[in-house]
Structure formats: structure tokens, C-alpha cells
Structure 1
Amino acid sequence: MESLTGLNAFVHAAELRSYVGAARVLGISSSAVAKSVARLEDDLGVRLFHRTTRSIGLTEEGAVFYEHCKRILDDFNDARAMISASRVRPKGRLRISVPHIVGHNLLMPLLPAFLQQFPEIELDIDFEDRVVDLIGEGIDVAVRSGELADTRLIGHRLGEQHFVVCGSNNYFERYSRPETPADLIRHVCIHFKYPSSGRLAPWSFRSPHTSLSLPESLIFSNTNAGLRAAIDGLGLAHLPVYIAEPAIKIGLIQPVLTKFMVPRGSLSLIWPSNRHLSPKVRTFVDFVITELRANPAIFEAKAV
């Protein structure tokens, strides 16, 4: 077990290029990580890292050793997780990262049933619109939009994100309905601003309507505020279908331009690439997938 502890410290330090980062994830001191790596180097008779005052990087021998160590630890974690899963009820603290809009509108409604079914799992949920470093920040599972570029992560695609342009009856009594996206230049447009970057989210029109210069009449960094503004007749909002649908169903807003809309990206559950998930992560992933599949309209286009 002492050897496995040393290998674990080395692999985390290699992946994070930092003794401090590895120590944070492992819950030990950075000096303990450094000592474990030093013992490995003494045993092997080679240097595993190039060290500077700011970072570390693998030597040629270290890179070869890392690949073998990673496979060894994956096999060990597979075996341990399978044994644990067969005899232990899922429990422990589960750290989750989720974008604000998804967390508030898709995840929160699922939590009462999840916690009732798995009361021994403690949820620690960060609402973050930035791209979180799961390994560096000790996150167990996250919801992320777009393509998965980090090879240290694996995931399950939940579905495509569809959007809809909506306005209230009161608004349409004052303004004519747009027939094409180009008509929006004469309308009051409500935009979403990414809190992390300040960039305005593009509207999801098919070509050749992808580069329209729309009026920036109202800008919010909160999607629910944009929905509220549309309901109050302040303008036309570009909203995810699952945000707009409840208000559409009861007639508070109406969709327009639906035949011009295309999906924009997808949502996925992602986690660090241990080949066998811990029981608490597997339980959460399976639960969310099952619940969202039971409501397929979340990931379907809005048609009129």
C-alpha cells in the first residue's frame, strides 16, 4: 500500500504539474508528495521530473513511467471499486459543478427524489459558468456544454441544446411578429451575457442568418431574468427550450421563427477518467440520465 501511495502521488503530480495541486486533491501536504516522488526517484535511480521554481514537467523516463503507473492505478481502482460497489451502499460527499442555468432549471428539481433515495450521499454543488478543472479542483462530476477536449475526462452526452425566440402577447400587440431573423433589427432584443466573460450569447439561427447584428436593447447575465423580461412584454428573448416551455404552455409567451432555429452545442455529464466509477458517482450519473430521459422534451426543438 505504501508503494501505491507513492505511485498515486506521482501520477497526480504529473497530471497537475504541481506538488501543491496534487497535495490538494489527495488531502496531504505538498512536502509529503515531494517526499513520495523523491523515494520513487531513489528507488528507480532516475529523475522523474524537471523542476523549476514555478512548475514541474516529466522527464523522458518520467513520461514512460507515468503511462505504466496510470494503468496500474486504474486496474487497482477498478478492482477496489467493484468490490466496494458489491457490498457498500453509495455514500460520502459528492462534489458537483454545474452551470447556473442547468443547475437551477434541470438539476434542482431532481434533488428531492435523489436525496430521498440515497440519503447517505452528501451533495456539495458549485454553480459555475466557467470551465472548471475537475481534477485540479477535486470535482467528482460536472455538467458541461460543448465538445469534450480534455483527454483526462470521460462523459455521457445528455442531449442537444435547443433554443427558441419568444415574446408576450402584449409585446406582439405593439410590434409586428418577425417573419424572418432579419426582421429582428426592428425589434427589442433581450440578450444573455456570459458572467465569466461578458460575451453575449449568439442566437441560434441556421445559415444564412448566423451573423446578424441584432439590437442590444436589454442585456442580462441571468437567463431567468431574460425570461421574466419577455413575459413582461419588454422584448424578444432567445431562450433554451426547457426554460421557455413552461411559460409557453400557459400562454405567457409565444415562440416565433422556430423554422429558422438550429441546436447550439450539447450538454454532457463528465468525470475524471477512472475506468470504473465510484458507487456515489455512478449512482448520481445513472439517476440524472434516467430522470432526464423520462422528459425528452428538454432536448427537443420547439415546433409551432
Structure 2
Amino acid sequence: MDKLRALHYLGLAAAERSFSGAARVLGVSVPAVAKMVTALEKDLGIKIFHRTTHGLALTAAGANYLEACGPALARLDDADEQARSVSVRLKGTLVVGVQHVIARGCLTAALPRFHARYPEVDLDIRSVEHEARGAVDGVDVTLVLGWPKAEDLVCRRLGAGRYMVVASPAYWAAHGVPGRPKYLEQHVCLPIRGIDGAVMDVWTFSRGEERESAIVRGWLTTSHAHRDLFIELALAGHGVLRVLDWFNRPEVMSGGLVQVLTDWESTEAVPVNVLYAPGVRRVPRARAFIDFVGEVFADLERDRGRPVIGTERPAWMRRPHGRASDFESRALRSN
């Protein structure tokens, strides 16, 4: 068995949560991926994946093994890239579409590292809020949150972000810190309208066997594209935000925003995806960038200390342009 290839297949199968997704990224058959992972399980004497109706899920033993192999795989990837950069000088322009939340939260700080590695590649970064055909025309590689439905594009899941609740120290001092998620209903919250148009006003959390939701309200709602407006208001003490755990790291690290309900965990983990046409990976500069953003999100996972697996598409997203709470209310009445 080729152990290095098996580890590579394993990492992609875990990231894609399916053998078919890994096969699509690798350009090989699904049986080839399944056979390699099965051989690795037999060699190690452990079960790496649970096969569920929702796809593959790492077992505890599988997650521990993949985490232990992570640094070695990262060093191997770096060595491969250095070897490629010596033999092939990448050059030309690459058009990258990216949602603002990903650009601000993860990508911007990493771009100088990509430039240092590939100084002759020019990046043309464009704002893309969704994966609809017209929105990604002329774009080589696209980074989007959520659950894209672009069937003619390769969709590789890079990671996920889990929500946390934050506000300024002045706000918490004036209004008190909620001890439970339900108590958020007594606060001035600033819900965001998602890309599909629905207001995300149901914030659900879990703690052990407990599960609790808050239907939040505030004096202002804004679109996904204008979330920076909410950040400025929250920093000034005007309300409570729910943000992805990697989006406002500078504000949280500096103390400008303070997280609460740290013993609770959001039940929603939004996937981060890279989309591209099937033939794009054959272009060396595109392949280099796709692999690079994979590294960026792998670094985020290591910084967390534990993997965050993207959850399924929320049921309320089936009815766009309303409020998530409207869908929840109808669902309760129908039961």
C-alpha cells in the first residue's frame, strides 16, 4: 500500500465527507478512493469512518489519527510546492471570486504569503456573494460560505466556521451578561439577512444534552454584504452580534468584542467551499491557489485545536426572503 497516497486520499475524503467528493477533486474513480481508505483501515486495525446517510464521519480513532498526521502532511505539501516552484515558474493572472466575510476573516492576511511563494502570479480579487452562473462568469476560482448548488462546478469543502455571540465590554456592563441562550431575547441583538434573503434571527445552541434557541430582535437588520456596519455598531456598544469564530478574531483578541455563552456551542457550523470548473485544476497557477487556500483553512483548524465539521443546510433556508423564526413557528404549529 502507498501510505502517502492513502493519507492524501483520507484527508480529502474527510474534508469532502464522501469518497465521491474526494474522487472528484483527485480526478480518480470512487472505488479507487474507497479501496485505498479501506486498506489503510485494515493496516491500522481501526475503523476510520462511520458511513451514514449524510456522508462520511470520522470516528474518534480516525480523527485522532488524521490530526496526528496533519503536521507531516503539511510539511510534505510544502516540500512538494517548493519542488514544483523550482521546476515550473508560475505566472499569469488568476481571477478569484470571494465573499467579503471570507476575504476579511481569513484570506486577506494570507495573500502576502501566496505572493511570496508565487511572485509572478497576479491575483484579481472580485466580490462574489453567491455561486449563481452569472455571478461567477469570468472567475477562475470562487470561495463561498454555505451550501452551494452549482452542479457544473467542482465543490471542495475547505472547512467550517461555528458561530459565537459577542458584544462590547461597555454593552455587557450596561445590560448584563446572559447566562443562557434564551436570555438573549432580552437583549438588543443585530441579526443579519443571509445571502438568500432570510433574516437569521433564530440562534440555537447546545450544551451536552441540552438544546436551546433564542428568537432575537433588535432595531436594525442588515444584509450579509454590510456586516461591517454591524461590527462598527457592536464595537460602539449598540448591540449583540452572532459572528463566525474566525471572522472577528482581531476585535476579540484586542478585547473590543467579548464572547459570552462560552460553555454553549452553536448548533450551526457553516461550511467554507472552493468552487471551480472541472478543468481549472489543470492550470498550474489555479491548482497552486486552490491548494494554498486549503492550507489556510487547515491552519485555522489547527489553531482551534479541534475540527469543526460543517452542518447540513438549515431547514429554514428553504423559504428565502422571510425570517428564520417564521419557519420555526410554522414547523411547531404543524407538529
**TM class, shorter-length:** 0.5 to 0.7
Q: Closer, same or farther in 2 for the Cα pair 1:206/1:137, shift >3 Å? A: same
Q: Which has the bigger relative contact order, CA under 8 A and spacing at least 6? A: 1
User: Is the Cα contact below 8 Å between 1:153 and 1:271 reproduced in 2?
Assistant: yes
The answer as to 2:219 corresponding to 1:217 is yes
Give the number of aligned pairs.
216
C-alpha contact 1:163 1:240 (8 A) present in aligned 2: yes
Counterpart secondary structure, 2:247: helix
In structure 2, the residue matched to 1:189 is: 189
- What fraction of aligned residue pairs are identical, expressed as a percent? 24
Question: Superposition RMSD on alpha carbons, in Å?
Answer: 2.9
Q: Is the 8 A contact 2:131 2:150 kept in 1?
A: no
Does the 8 Å contact 1:135/1:272 carry over to 2?
no
- Structure 2 gaps, min length 5: 1-83, 309-335
Paired residues of 1:223 and 1:239 also in contact (CA < 8 A)? no
**How do 1:235-274 residues align onto structure 2 when only pairs under 5 Å count?**
235-258=239-262, 259-274=264-279
Distance in 2 (alpha carbons) for counterparts of 1:199 and 1:168: 26
Displacement of 1:187 in angstroms is: 0.8
Gapped runs of 5+ residues in structure 1?
1-83
Q: What letter is aligned with 2:275? A: I
- AA in 1 matched with 2:294: I
Q: Is the 8 A contact 1:134 1:141 kept in 2?
A: no
Describe the SS at the equivalent of 1:242: coil
Contact 1:226–1:237, Cα closer than 8 Å, also in 2: yes
When residues 275 and 118 of structure 1 are mapped into structure 2, their CA distance, relative to the original with a 3 A threshold, is: closer
**1:153 touches 1:273 (CA, 8 Å); kept in 2?**
yes
Give how far 1:167 is off: 1.5
Mapped to 1, the partners of 2:92 and 2:134 lie a distance apart of: 18
Q: Equivalent of 2:293, from 260, 285, 288?
A: 288
Q: 1:201 aligns to what?
A: 200
2:293 partner SS: helix
In the TM superposition, what whole-angstrom CA distance separates every residue of 1:247-295 from its partner, at most 9, and x where no partner exists?
2222222212230422332001121122853101111111222233223
Query: What is the 5 A alignment of 1:45-56?
Result: none
Task: Give the match's secondary structure for 1:234.
Answer: coil
Gap change, CA 1:285 and 1:279, over 3 Å in 2? same
> CA shift at 1:204, angstroms?
4.2
| Residue in structure 2 matched with residue 40 of structure 1 by the alignment | none
> Which of 179, 201, 226 is 2:230 aligned to?
226
Q: Deviations over 1:142-161 (max 9, x none)?
A: 11222343332223221122
TM-score (norm 1): 0.62
| 1:292–1:213 CA distance, 2 compared to 1 (3 A) | closer
Tell me how far apart the structure 1 counterparts of residues 131 and 239 of structure 2 sit (CA, whole Å).
30
| TM-score scaled by length of structure 2 | 0.57
Residue identity in the other structure for 1:290? E
CA distance in 2, matches of 1:125, 1:107: 11
Deviations 1:44-90 (A, max 9, x none): xxxxxxxxxxxxxxxxxxxxxxxxxxxxxxxxxxxxxxxx9996422
